[in-house]
């Protein structure tokens, strides 16, 4: 393949002549989805796959072979250290649970690879700071899986509505999620199956009782992530920050808790509000994993209010309404069923996000080839991730927090500053000790 142009989305030239050697750590639902989107837009050889679930790993290997007829079957590993020790990868994709993101990304960079890292980039703020320091040391390119920045209809809304000033002065943003996504189960303790390495899966996190394979259910526990704020708010906050050119919030506050779904084992909040304060602009977050959505067309979305109108947007569409002219503009998500018919047969695929992920991958490759920052670079991922972590800390401490980036501390709050770094399980070292 020669150079290809994707200028319509701000991606000018991608060098697709060489075959990229790719590895995936975390071969579950979204890890495979990211890998398959990359395979659709670049010439790659999937060299290795890693997962602590041997059944999931074998299934992923079979799917890769089916998508690359005649290609050599990828090597499979249950230990990421053995995989990365080969040092034969150009790109490593990380689709693990959140509590592994920072550690795996750092180890992949040490092995000489560029990294596509799913959001959030970390489960505590200093993990993110250490990741930034490691990226500066090793010179790797990282693209964070906050692909709203590569979503065609949102790019259009930013360009045609936000950037042209059609909203006028913007002074208020609301973001929300009303999906019933919190695990409400209360499962009994069971033996760990032979094909699943639970100790390795847990890694640096606390070792909880085993009540079944935690695929996708791990999001119910703060030991492994940052709740619905860290899972869903991070996307919407990042999209708003990108659209409006916002950096770090000056103050973060939050209220809420487990108010309804009290019988579940889950220790993440079922109800939470957060306020991210910027200069002359506050961004408000709200989630409920119970009840109804105020707008059934936008159960997970954001709304930007300006003096001249408003913009409501989600992964599925956007709606603009002008107060001056009465103009209303509705735009739906871009699907690419005709261009990529194989999407229709892929189990578990999110068809509405596939075009955005493909565009995100192309931007990632362009950044590698041209030595530039990708659209969802590590610093942007860190700001959005850390802001959501600070919201959870503010909820726990019941007070607003102001993070000082230079000092890596919460101003005038030693107790909060101590929470910027979580304790690791014995035998695991927090990356702050090496890089900060």
> In whole angstroms, what is the distance from residue 107 CA to residue 117 CA?
12
Categorize the per-residue pLDDT at 109 as very low, low, confident or very high, splitting at 50, 70 and 90: very high
Looking at residue 400, what is its pLDDT? 98
Looking at residue 234, what is its pLDDT? 98
What pTM does this model have?
Answer: 0.96
> In whole angstroms, what is the distance from residue 288 CA to residue 360 CA?
29
- Cβ partners under 8 Å of residue 324, min gap 6: 308, 309
**Mean pLDDT in residue range 50-73:** 94
pLDDT tens string 130-181: 999 999 999 999 999 999 999 999 999 999 999 999 999 999 999 999 999 9
Distances in whole angstroms, Cα of residue 182 to Cα of each of 118, 218, 227, 289, 391: 20, 10, 9, 6, 18
> In whole angstroms, what is the distance from residue 230 CA to residue 386 CA?
9
- pLDDT over threshold 80, residue 210: yes
Higher pLDDT, 253 or 8: 253
Radius of gyration of the chain (CA): 21
Higher pLDDT, 71 or 174: 174
Count of CB atoms situated within 10 Å of the CB of 165: 11
> In whole angstroms, what is the distance from residue 202 CA to residue 97 CA?
9
- H-helix segments, 304-430: 354-370, 378-397, 414-418
Categorize the per-residue pLDDT at 11 as very low, low, confident or very high, splitting at 50, 70 and 90: low
pLDDT tens string 405-427: 999 999 999 999 999 999 999 99
Categorize the per-residue pLDDT at 14 as very low, low, confident or very high, splitting at 50, 70 and 90: low
Q: Measure the CA angle with vertex 190, ends 184 and 195; round to 5°.
A: 105
Which residue from 110, 116, 105 is spatially nearest to 87, judged by alpha carbons? 110
**Mean pLDDT in residue range 47-59:** 98
Which residue from 364, 353, 357 is spatially nearest to 92, judged by alpha carbons? 364
Looking at residue 69, what is its pLDDT? 84
Q: Measure the CA angle with vertex 333, ends 173 and 155; round to 5°.
A: 55
Which residue from 401, 430, 405 is spatially nearest to 414, judged by alpha carbons? 401
Domains, the chain, in order of start with CATH, read 4-148 (3.40.50.720), 151-336+379-402 (3.30.360.10)
Q: What is the DSSP string of 288-330?
A: ESSS--S-TT-SEEEEEEETTEEEEE-SSEEEEEETTT--EEE
- pLDDT over threshold 60, residue 13: no
Task: Give me the chain's average pLDDT, please.
Answer: 95
Looking at residue 15, what is its pLDDT? 62
pLDDT tens string 293-351: 999 999 999 999 999 999 999 999 999 999 989 999 999 999 999 999 999 999 989 99
Burial of 398 from C-beta contacts in 10 A (0-12 / 13-18 / 19+) = exposed
DSSP-assigned letter for residue 15: -
Looking at residue 4, what is its pLDDT? 37
């Amino acid at each position: 393949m020669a150079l290809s142009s994707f200028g319509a989305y701000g991606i000018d030239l991608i060098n697709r002549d060489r075959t990229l050697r790719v590895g995936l750590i975390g071969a579950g639902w979204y890890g495979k989805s990211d890998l398959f989107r990359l395979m659709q837009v670049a010439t790659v050889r999937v060299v290795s796959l890693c997962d602590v679930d041997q059944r999931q790993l074998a299934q992923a290997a079979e799917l890769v072979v089916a998508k690359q007829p005649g290609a050599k079957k990828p090597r499979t590993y249950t230990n990421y250290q053995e995989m990365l020790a080969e040092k034969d990868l150009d790109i490593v994709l990380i689709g693990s649970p959140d509590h592994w993101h920072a550690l795996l990304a750092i180890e992949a960079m040490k092995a000489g690879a560029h990294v596509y890292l799913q959001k959030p980039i970390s489960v505590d703020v200093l993990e993110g700071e250490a990741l930034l320091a490691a990226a500066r040391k090793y010179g790797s390119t990282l693209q964070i899986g906050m692909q709203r920045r590569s979503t065609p209809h949102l790019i259009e809304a930013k360009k045609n509505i936000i950037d042209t000033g059609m909203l006028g002065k913007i002074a208020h943003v609301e973001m929300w999620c009303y999906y019933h996504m919190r695990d409400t189960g209360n499962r009994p303790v069971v033996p760990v199956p032979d094909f699943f390495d639970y100790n390795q899966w847990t890694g640096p996190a606390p070792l909880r009782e085993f009540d079944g394979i935690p695929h996708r259910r791990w999001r119910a526990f703060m030991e492994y992530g940052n709740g619905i704020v860290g899972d869903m708010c991070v996307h919407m906050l990042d999209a708003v920050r990108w659209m409006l050119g916002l950096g770090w919030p000056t103050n973060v506050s939050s209220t809420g808790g487990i108010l309804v779904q009290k019988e579940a084992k889950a220790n993440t909040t079922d109800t939470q509000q957060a306020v991210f304060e910027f200069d002359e602009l506050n961004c408000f977050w709200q989630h409920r994993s119970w009840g109804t959505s105020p707008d059934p067309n936008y159960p997970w979305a954001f709304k930007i209010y300006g003096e001249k109108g408003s913009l409501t947007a989600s992964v599925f569409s956007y709606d603009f309404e002008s107060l001056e002219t009465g103009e209303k503009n509705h735009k739906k998500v871009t699907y690419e069923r005709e261009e990529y018919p194989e999407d229709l047969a892929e189990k578990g695929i999110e068809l509405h996000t596939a075009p955005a992920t493909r565009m995100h991958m192309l931007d990632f490759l362009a950044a590698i080839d041209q030595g530039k920052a990708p659209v969802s670079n590590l610093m942007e991922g860190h700001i959005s991730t850390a802001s959501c972590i600070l919201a959870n800390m503010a909820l726990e401490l019941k007070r607003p927090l102001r993070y000082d980036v230079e000092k890596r501390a919460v101003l005038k709050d030693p107790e909060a500053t101590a929470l910027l770094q979580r304790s690791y399980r014995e035998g695991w070292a927090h990356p702050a000790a090496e890089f900060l």
